[in-house]
Amino acid sequence: DDIVTLVFHLMNTYQIQKQQIISMGIGVPGSVNKEMGIIGYANNLNFTGVPFLSLIKEKIEWPVYLDNDGNVGAWGEFLAGSGRGYHSMVMVTLGTGIGGGIIINDQLYYGCNNSAGEIGHMVIEKNGLPCNCGRRGCFENYASATALIKYAREAMLENRDSMLWEICQKDTNKLNGVSFFEAVKKEDRVAKAVLEQYISYLATGIANLINIFQPDLLCISGGISQAGSLLLDPLKALVEKEVYTRQDKSGQTVIKVAKLVSDAGMIGAALLKN
Amino acid sequence: DDIVTLVFHLMNTYQIQKQQIISMGIGVPGSVNKEMGIIGYANNLNFTGVPFLSLIKEKIEWPVYLDNDGNVGAWGEFLAGSGRGYHSMVMVTLGTGIGGGIIINDQLYYGCNNSAGEIGHMVIEKNGLPCNCGRRGCFENYASATALIKYAREAMLENRDSMLWEICQKDTNKLNGVSFFEAVKKEDRVAKAVLEQYISYLATGIANLINIFQPDLLCISGGISQAGSLLLDPLKALVEKEVYTRQDKSGQTVIKVAKLVSDAGMIGAALLKN
């Protein structure tokens, strides 16, 4: 009901007639059965097996398409952002966890249960840190944005001389991606050492994905990807040393950061089709 | 020249006329540019940039198709073995290393440089055992057939009471997959402990691949896969505990061992098309 109300409100505000609407796309934070229009499971919405599409279609007459939020983000970035001109892409989204989106032959790849691309739950350290998925040593425990901030907080507490204290106004709770990379830019020794450790883990997971997929493009998304070359240059240097095909002249995966970031999901949802 | 001579010899021996031949397929132990018919690099043949297809076509007039040997093995198993009836498959071949073959939407997946599927070079233990690819902690260092035999030899040397000594006639060089699984069948404590450790690593890599691909089928190939349920049952039990979608009712990857084993490459090559 909230979605439908908002849609009609926006149409009214911007004087959009229903004849002008080709279709509507929705990114769902959970698993989606696209064919049935059902949300299998969305933990943050407390939805299990909700017939979402048929509920929406009771009040909306144009075509409506559903997909997972990670997928629509990857789809938007692929069609309208850093992915333009490529045919295959693995999206690595650094956030609370690490999300993935896989595009092969210009199409999103779903797997047998619409749950492919859980790249954050690839173990890179056997018997490592416990993950809330039940495994130990998952990629996201070491290379998510959350992990970066956790490492940085630990390093702050152990190094009272770090510039991070000043930048965060002596409050570890004010530490985030922006303040962390501010300290890196200012050549803070502690922040640089944290970044080096973080990038080492990130490179391990990304080299794994390249060895498996050899996609045209590996695109890094999420807030901290916008640190740009501070993150990307040392990451590329490490990955280039590790990938199996590093001496192959016939082609190499390109590594880029996302261009659209928070708009990617909106654009990708709008461009969904059957 | 050897290949062409053999082909004509076989045609002669089995009274096959050239009109009866639809096409010929060749599995190459190296990287192949299918479009150009060029072998990029084959270390065991010492071939670099060899225009293989045009050399063959000087003497053979029917269509000839080339592909990597791992790919033709996966293709054969997919079309005529354990993969029949599925649409996506990840093949995990346990041999000297760990090879991979990826089939998505009923097609082999190649990546941007025909080198996708190097699943053996996915790091599962950061800073682990050195791999000859230059990385540390690669899947194949822990879960190839070579790794199994290495573990078993080490355990033999430390456990003089193991049945492995008797089965191998007191010669560690006689230890191989067959003799190892013979000891497991006889409930040898040492062999069983080695198998348990081995399967733990194998399960880590396989759960990674399922979390990434969620393929219809994950097929395990290579000589030791033929140990069947001795390998498969404990492996499945571990993987089921680890995969992200273990509670998903909408679909689960099926895990099977290969049926065709050493014939798979021959069959897959014969079934290659443009």
ipTM: 0.94
Distance CA A153, CA B172 (A): 52
Q: Does B253 touch chain A (CB under 8 A)?
A: yes
**CB-CB contact of B248 with B214 (8 Å):** no
The residue among A129, A212, A246 with the most chain B CBs within 10 A of its CB, best to mutate, is A212
* pLDDT, tens digit, 9 for 90 and up, residues A122-146: 999 999 999 989 999 999 999 999 9
Distance CA B47, CA B64 (A): 19
CA-based nearest residue in chain A for residue B205: A123
Q: Does B263 touch chain A (CB under 8 A)?
A: no
Q: How far is CA B218 from CA B83, B134, B214, B223, B252, in A?
A: 9, 27, 9, 16, 10
**pLDDT score of B245 more than 90:** no
Is residue B163 classed as helix, strand or coil in its secondary structure?
helix
Cβ pair A126:B128 closer than 8 A: yes
Q: Buried b / exposed e across A73-97, counting CB within 10 Å, b at 16+?
A: bbbbbbbbbbbeebebbbbbbbbeb
Q: Collect all residues of chain B within an 8 Å Cβ-Cβ radius of residue A214.
A: 110-113, 115-116
Cβ pair B33:A250 closer than 8 A: yes
Is residue A110 classed as helix, strand or coil in its secondary structure?
coil
Cβ pair A207:B248 closer than 8 A: no
**pLDDT score of A274 more than 70:** no
**CB-CB contact of A83 with A271 (8 Å):** no
Distance CA A256, CA A220 (A): 6
**How many other CB atoms are there within 10 angstroms of residue B13's CB atom?**
8
Q: Does B211 touch chain A (CB under 8 A)?
A: yes
Q: pLDDT averaged over chain B?
A: 94
Residue A57 has what pLDDT?
A: 95
Q: Does B197 touch chain A (CB under 8 A)?
A: no
Cβ pair B134:A241 closer than 8 A: yes
- Give A211→chain B minimum CA distance, Å: 5
**pLDDT score of A48 more than 90:** no
Strands B31-33 and A107-108: unpaired
CB nearest to A250's CB, from B113, B125, B135:
B113
Cβ pair B115:A207 closer than 8 A: no
Token pair 């000839």 is at which residue?
Answer: B64
Cβ pair A121:B244 closer than 8 A: yes
Instruction: Report angle CA B30, B22, B109 to the nearest 5 degrees.
Output: 40
* pLDDT, tens digit, 9 for 90 and up, residues A10-30: 999 999 999 999 999 999 988
Residue A202 has what pLDDT?
A: 98
**pLDDT score of B233 more than 90:** yes
Contacts across the A-B interface (CB distance below 8 Å)? 138
CA B215 to chain centre: 16
pLDDT category of residue B274 using cuts at 50, 70 and 90: low
Residue B43 in tokens: 């270390």
Distance CA B126, CA A65 (A): 41
Distance CA A229, CA A14 (A): 39
Q: Does A17 touch chain B (CB under 8 A)?
A: no
* pLDDT, tens digit, 9 for 90 and up, residues A240-271: 999 998 877 778 999 999 999 889 999 999 99
Cβ pair A212:B118 closer than 8 A: yes
* pLDDT, tens digit, 9 for 90 and up, residues B64-112: 999 999 999 999 999 999 999 999 999 999 999 999 999 999 999 999 9
Q: Does A119 touch chain B (CB under 8 A)?
A: yes
Q: Which of A203, A171, A166 is nearest to A188 (CA)?
A: A166
The residue among B112, B118, B133, B253 with the most chain A CBs within 10 A of its CB, best to mutate, is B112
